[in-house]
A and B are shown apart, each in its own frame.
Chain A
Amino acid sequence: MSLLEVRNLRKSYGALKVTDDLDLTVDEGELHAIIGPNGAGKTTLISQLAGQAGSDGGSVRFAGTEMMGMPMHRRVRAGMSRSFQITSILPGFSVLENVAAAVQARSGSSFRFFAPVSKEQALNDAALAVLARVGIADRAFFRAGSLSHGEKRQLELAIALATRPRLLLLDEPLAGTSGQEADRLVEVMRGLKRDVTLVLIEHDMDAVFALADRISVLVYGRIIATGRPEQIRDDARVRTAYLGEEAGEGS
């Protein structure tokens, strides 16, 4: 059953069509990777799906509900979260507070003015559990801004997870991570599969082909092919349009 159905999604900046009548279907429970050369419009697509960037037209149906025109924060509450390619955290907050804020967003009203939020055990416990899942529970009481780059990438993922999404849009979660950190994040994503439906944008082809159930190839704002990893690897159009050397090296 499809969880996300995108039809005729469009967006242009002046004459430049960044998203050009794009169709995409993501099934419940799958990890759907989107690959494509630089400038193909991958991050723009994620921003459009998440509601951060506006769209010129088309339809985004999530779990049967039309999302077009809905602002980002409401899409998040509907169960659709994103992570950012360029780490976007609350640097002055502790690691725990970063995640607890995300838990707070989905548990009860935040128009509460008197009780100290740091003493809300339910929020802290849930946040700690997510931190443990991505492997940075030991950093819980550090200032988020003081983390290493790899740890920030883990925190980025943790914050998105803490919103408890049905669909998680991951924008290059491995960007800038070293081998060991990347392995760690790949393991986390593998653990997430089936629990959460994932749309993954990633340049690391080893990770993509190891994790993805299906892959869509985005070139100049259009999906030119969708299929299982081995189909994509063998697709002649994909080879000419994009994969070329990278796939050759990878396989």
Chain B
Amino acid sequence: MRLIPNRAWAATLLFTAFALLPLIAVWLDDIYLIVIATRILAYAIAALALDLILGYGGMVSFGHAAYLGIGAYSVAILSRAGITDLGLHLLAAICAAAVFALVTGAISLRTRGIYFIMITLAFAQMAYFFFVSLSAYGGDDGVTLAARSTVFGQPLLESDTALYYTGLALLVGLYLLAVAITRSRFGRVLTGTRENPVRMQAIGFSPFRYQLTAFVISGCMASVAGVMLANQTSFVSPAFMDWHRSGELVVMVVFGGIGNLLGAIAGATIALLLEEWLAILTEHWQILFGLILVLVVLYSRDGLTGFFRRRL
């Protein structure tokens, strides 16, 4: 509670830095910087969404990349049908994600612990295979988008900078939404359930409804990241929901400190920059990344989660 003014400051600082970044990119004459930064924004949205249920709800979902894919394919499928408006793309992504999260969440949340982790992973894999078998959209190979989403019928997002600021606006909006949710009545029930589900039942709450609602909200938020990512790469494929990507999202949340929404954004930034940097060093950067991950988990006291755990 005492941290809230600090958090507001930290958020302002972080988002200001993000807002100034294109200027720096222009000054350095390095347009690739904006491309990376847009990717970071998209993953930050997804990590934020995951943190809402992982950090605040105690639900370790290992299948959140599915929502990236659902968001991305919403763009691809609607664009193919001649609907190019960004707002409609977002709407479709959110609706599809809500349905998927509602069905898979209702089943997954009947279980706990290891089961929950494995089942969310399995359902994400199901989504993966679903899109692999969509031969009309390239199957395994995916599909290249003819153009980015339009805004008010105009191809405004064709400019990388405009896309970047759109992503930033979405991130800030979703961050504020997530902060509001965690501080609301609903958020209290969600966190309380993470702390002690039996206690919450003993005061009259049925955890399932709240957890499922949070799961759906999180899925919808993550699908927004998918819409962003599809626009950034102008390309959509099942690789968006590869289970490695689900794992990377969990890593991002934990790197930033679970149960700390701003941390999720920072974690996405750290993880992606680390990837970029390691990839410069060696083409086999995954070995180094994995090594860092294993070492940090093993040798930080109380493990990574304890190490990074912040007060709420």
Please give the residue numbers on chain A whose beta carbons come within 8 Å of chain B beta carbons, in ascending order: 50, 52, 71-74, 76-77, 81-82, 84, 88-94, 97, 100-102, 104-106, 109-118, 120, 159-160, 162-163
Residue among A72, A104, A106, A162 making CB contact with B188, cutoff 8 Å: A104
Q: How far is the CA of A104 from the CA of B198 in the complex (A)?
A: 16
Residue of A nearest to B179 (CB): A116
The reply to whether B204 and A82 contact each other, CB–CB distance below 8 Å, is no
**Is residue B289 contacting chain A, with contact meaning CB distance below 8 A?**
no
Give min CB distance, B5 to chain A, whole Å.
Answer: 14
Q: Which residues of A contact B312 (CB under 8 A)?
A: 92
Q: Which residues in A have their C-beta under 8 angstroms from that of B205?
A: 73, 105, 110
B206 and A90 within 8 A (CB):
no
**CB–CB A112/B204 < 8 A:** no
Q: Evaluate contact between A115 and B203: CB separation under 8 angstroms.
A: no
* B contact patch SS: helix
Q: Across the interface, which residues of A come within 8 angstroms of B200, CB to CB?
A: 73, 101
Contact B196 A88 (CB under 8 A): yes
| Bitwise interface map of B from 182 to 206 toward A, beta carbon under 8 Å scored 1, else 0 | 0111111101100110111111111
Q: At the interface, is chain A mostly helix, strand, loop or mixed?
A: mixed
Q: Residue-by-residue, is B158-184 near A (CB-CB < 8 Å gives 1, otherwise 0)? A: 000000000000000000000011011
CB neighbours (8 Å) of B15 from chain A are none
Q: How many contacts between A and B, using CB within 8 angstroms? A: 103
Residues of B contacting A109 with CB < 8 Å?
185
- Count of chain B residues near A, Cβ 8 A: 27
Q: How far is the CB of B203 from chain A (nearest CB, A)?
A: 4
Q: Are A110 and B202 in contact (CB under 8 A)?
A: no
Rounded to whole angstroms, the CA-CA distance of A171 and B199 in the bound complex is 14
Q: Are A115 and B202 in contact (CB under 8 A)?
A: no
What separation, in Å, do the CA atoms of A118 and B191 have in the docked complex? 14
Output the nearest chain A residue to B196 by Cβ-Cβ distance: A90
Query: Which residues of the other chain, B, contact A116 by a CB distance below 8 angstroms?
Result: 180, 183-184
Decide: A115 and B188 in contact? CB cutoff 8 A.
Answer: no
How far in angstroms is the closest Cβ of chain B from A117? 5
Q: A112-B186, A113-B180 are known contacts. Are A73 and B195 too (CB-CB below 8 A)?
A: no
B199 touches which one: A77, A90, A100, A115 (CB < 8 A)? A90
A30 to B38 CA separation, bound complex (whole angstroms)? 67
